[in-house]
Structures are given as C-alpha cells and as structure tokens.
Amino acid sequence: MLYDSGCRVQELITLNTSDITLGGIYKLFIKGKGDKYREIPIMQETGKILEKYIRIYERQPKKPLFCNSRGERLTCAGISHILNKYQKLAKEMNAKPIQENLSPHLLRHSKATHLVNNGVSIYNIRDFLGHASVTTTQVYLTSNPEVMREAIEKASLKTAPDSADYYSAEEKADLMSFLETLF
C-alpha cells in the first residue's frame, strides 16, 4: 500500500476506512502536508487486497484503516517495525540481497523513481506525491543512462527529419562524394 500509493507514512497512518473508494476504480483521499487533500489512484490488485482486509478485520467507516494489535491507530514506528519484520523474513527466505536501509520513505522514493523512469510527466508525479513545487519532485529524476538513451531516441524520432524525405538522391551522392574527399 505504501509503495502503490506513494504516500508519506504519516498520510497512510491517518487514513480512515471512509477515505477509500472501493470497487471498480480504487482511490484514496489523502490529507497531506499543510492540510491539503489529494486523490490518489491505486492499482486494482491493491484495491482488491484492501477490500479483503477491510472485510476480514471489519474496519468501520470514520475509523482508522490500519490498527495495531491493541486496536489503536498504527504509528510511524509501528509501520517501520512491520517493514523491518518482513525485511528480515525476506532475507531468511531469499538468497538474493535485500536493501539494508529499508524505510517507509524508500518505498515512496522508489514509486516516484519508477514513475519517472516509465515516462510519467514530472507534473503528474508532483500532484501524485502531493508536492507543492515541481522542484521538490525533481529529486526523483534519476540519471539512469538507459532511460536517458531511450528518451533521447524517442525524441529524436519526432524531431530529426527522415533523411529519405529530406535529401534527394543527387544531393546524397554529392554529400557522400564530398565526405570521401576528406579522407
């Protein structure tokens, strides 16, 4: 849920069951920094898991969505504890290396980076994350060489003229003759 929604941990723990739209289109209504509200879409798979969670744990509207074993609203420390618990379990079950400094914010950062790397507009990501300024969102613009190469190639297809249409056969031959004289 933290990854899919890109929420800050504080935003997640303040969610009530009534802050969710279920069935068909799944959305969260998040109260972010500065008491600003935003609507966050979540994937259908996450939404279905959330529906099942609400049904199994009998979560009531206007009540906390996520509670601890005592029935109290989860805290930031509680979320970190859960994350660390499952990180240790994943390490025990999997021979592959697991991120050492796992934190709730790392999930938010990963979601934003994945969105950027998949071509989502920085302005859409700003709104998704609830940033007041796109400058804050620019932190997630990674310098992944492969992503950069693909973006440049895609842009060049739209901006560079097709040489087959741009030069006549005679002009191409003249250019090639000229270039051969240089060597």
Q: What is the pLDDT of residue 13?
A: 95
The verdict on whether 172 is a catalytic residue reads no
- Which residue ranges in the chain fall short of pLDDT 70? 95, 142-144, 147, 160-165
Q: How far is CA 74 from CA 7, 50, 51, 63, in A?
A: 15, 16, 19, 12
d(CA 128, CA 35): 15
* Cα separation, 27 vs 165, whole angstroms: 48
List the Cα angle 118/122/128 in 5-degree steps.
Answer: 90
For 98: left if phi > 0, alpha if psi spans -120 to 50, otherwise beta; the answer is beta
The 10s digit of each residue's pLDDT in 53-89 is 998 888 888 899 999 989 899 999 999 999 999 888 8
Is 8 assigned a catalytic role? Answer: yes
pLDDT value of position 35? 87
pLDDT for position 49 = 93
Residue of 36, 52, 81, 105 marked catalytic: 105
Active site residue 33: yes
Give all domains of the chain, ordered by start, each with its CATH number.
2-142 (1.10.443.10)
- What string of DSSP letters covers 2-27? HHHH---HHHHHT-BGGGEE-SSS-E
Q: Which residues contact 30 (CB under 8 A, 6 or more apart)?
A: 5, 7, 11, 15, 19, 37, 38, 39, 40, 130
Q: Verify whether residue 108 is a known catalytic residue.
A: yes
